[in-house]
């Protein structure tokens, strides 16, 4: 029997089939490498979180420094003395002792309510260690920072309180203070900015920072901010209506206190690298090779 030689077209088909097999093997080998590159790029990202200042000592230092500033502005420094009229141009307003006491109560209740809400929010998040007190500590630090600014600035300008201003004589008196001594003269010239409005505004600003700045938002901080804001605006109205401040005094304290509180929250920001579980690699595809002689 005579054997036939393979036809040339059959030889070409066999070659093409083997080339296809090699190409499929090369693609299968490259898929795991491509998958691992994509997983590595998505395995880590940067996250903004809020925590304590790294140690309780830092927060104690913050409180001590601001406490010293508050004491200096309130008890050691004396305001400039002159006859500078209330800044809103509305002149004299009589003293209302009942509204003054209501403002005092509103400040205390507002600070206690805001700190309690912040603490409840931290408990709800099940934070650990010192971070369990992160919310109330930061918001109260914001209140302190806002108050310090106003008590220091009060001594720079010596603006007369509306209750002590004499529209006829165009002079700053002490008739709204209830007594006539050096302490009364100082108090009469400490109208700008308002010391009562600032701490609640500082707490609101700190709570806004706690809600807005971290990568993960917690709505309880927004609730603290809105609650403190409501108390602060209430105090603004009570202090103006009670003759203690002009609208300019309370507005300036509201803005400066809020900014001080927001910056206080920003001091507690930390950037951390968050590891994510690596993505599962794609399964190796099944391949069929073709070969043989036709």
**Rounded Cα gap, residues 140 and 115, in angstroms:** 7
Residue 170 predicted with pLDDT over 50: yes
> CA separation (Å) from 143 to 90, 156, 244?
29, 21, 20
Find out whether the peptide bond into 193 is cis, omega within 30 degrees of 0.
yes
Question: Cα dihedral sign for 40, 42, 44, 46?
Answer: positive
The number of angstroms, rounded, from the C-alpha of 162 to the middle of its chain's C-alpha atoms is: 34
pLDDT at 268: 85
Average of pLDDT values for 279-284?
A: 52
What does the H/E/C string look like for 167-213?
A: CCCCEECCCCCCCCCHHHHHHHCCCCCCCCHHHHHHHHHHHHHHHHC
Query: Average pLDDT over the chain, rounded to whole?
Result: 80
Distance of alpha carbon 132 from alpha carbon 67, whole angstroms: 23
Residue 52 per-residue DSSP state: -
pLDDT of residue 187: 94
What is the model's pLDDT at position 29? Answer: 43
CA triple 233-223-70, angle to 5 deg: 55
Average pLDDT over residues 173-189: 89
Provide the 8-state DSSP code for 84: B
Q: Rounded CA gap, 99 and 235, in Å?
A: 9
pLDDT digits (tens, 9 = 90+) for 109-154: 999 999 999 998 887 765 666 667 888 999 999 999 999 999 999 9
Residue 288 clears pLDDT 50, i.e. is over it: no
pLDDT tens digits, 73-108: 999 999 999 899 999 999 999 999 999 999 999 999
Is the pLDDT reported for residue 9 higher than 60? Answer: no
Tell me which residue has tokens 């701490």. Answer: 199
Q: What's the pLDDT at 217?
A: 81
Is residue 18 predicted with pLDDT exceeding 60? Answer: no
Structure pTM? 0.75
pLDDT digits (tens, 9 = 90+) for 193-242: 999 999 999 999 999 999 998 877 888 999 999 999 999 999 999 999 99
pLDDT at position 38? 40
**What does the DSSP assignment read for 209-256?**
HHHHSSSS--HHHHHHHHHHHHHHHHHHHHHHHTTS--HHHHHHHHHH
Which residues are bridge partners to 50 per DSSP? 269
User: Among 7-11, 129-133, 141-145, 257-261, which is the least confidently predicted range?
Assistant: 7-11
Count, residues in the chain: 294
Query: 166 versus 10: which is more confidently predicted?
Result: 166
The DSSP line for 117-162 is HHHHHHHHTT--GGGGGHHHHHHHHHHHHHHHHHHHHHHHH-BPPG
Question: How does residue 14 score in pLDDT terms, banded at 50, 70 and 90?
Answer: very low
DSSP 3-state of 48 = strand
| 3-14: burial string, b at 16+ Cβ within 10 Å, e else | eeeeeeeeeeee
List b or e across 31-46, with b for residues whose CB sees 16 or more CB atoms inside 10 angstroms.
Answer: eeeeeeeeeeeeeeee
* pLDDT at position 177 over 80: yes
Q: What is the pLDDT of residue 2?
A: 43
The residue among 27 and 49 whose pLDDT is bigger is 49
């Amino acid at each position: 029997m005579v054997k036939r030689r393979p036809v040339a077209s059959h030889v070409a088909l066999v070659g093409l089939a083997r080339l296809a097999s090699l190409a499929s093997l090369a693609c299968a080998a490259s898929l795991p490498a491509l998958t691992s590159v994509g997983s590595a790029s998505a395995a880590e990202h940067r996250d903004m979180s809020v925590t304590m200042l790294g140690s309780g000592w830092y927060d104690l230092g913050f409180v001590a420094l601001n406490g010293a500033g508050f004491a200096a502005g309130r008890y050691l420094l004396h305001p400039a003395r002159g006859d500078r009229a209330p800044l809103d141009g509305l002149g004299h307003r009589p003293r209302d002792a009942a509204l003054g006491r209501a403002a005092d109560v509103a400040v205390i209740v507002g600070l206690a309510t805001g700190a309690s809400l912040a603490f409840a929010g931290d408990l709800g998040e099940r934070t650990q260690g010192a971070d369990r007190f992160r919310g109330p500590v930061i918001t109260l630090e914001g209140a302190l920072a806002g108050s310090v600014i106003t008590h220091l600035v009060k001594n720079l300008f010596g603006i007369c309180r509306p209750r002590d201003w004499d529209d006829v004589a165009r002079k700053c008196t002490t008739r709204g203070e209830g007594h006539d001594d050096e302490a009364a003269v100082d108090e009469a010239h400490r109208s700008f900015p308002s010391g009562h409005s600032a701490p609640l505004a500082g707490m609101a600003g700190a709570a806004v920072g706690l809600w807005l700045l971290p990568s993960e938002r917690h709505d309880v901080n927004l609730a603290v901010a809105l609650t403190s804001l409501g108390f602060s605006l209430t105090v603004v109205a009570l202090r103006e209506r009670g003759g203690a401040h002009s609208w300019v005094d309370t507005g300036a304290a509201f803005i400066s206190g809020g900014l001080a509180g927001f910056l206080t929250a920003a001091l507690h920001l930390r950037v951390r690298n968050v590891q994510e579980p690596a993505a599962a690699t794609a399964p190796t595809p099944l391949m069929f090779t073709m070969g043989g002689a036709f």
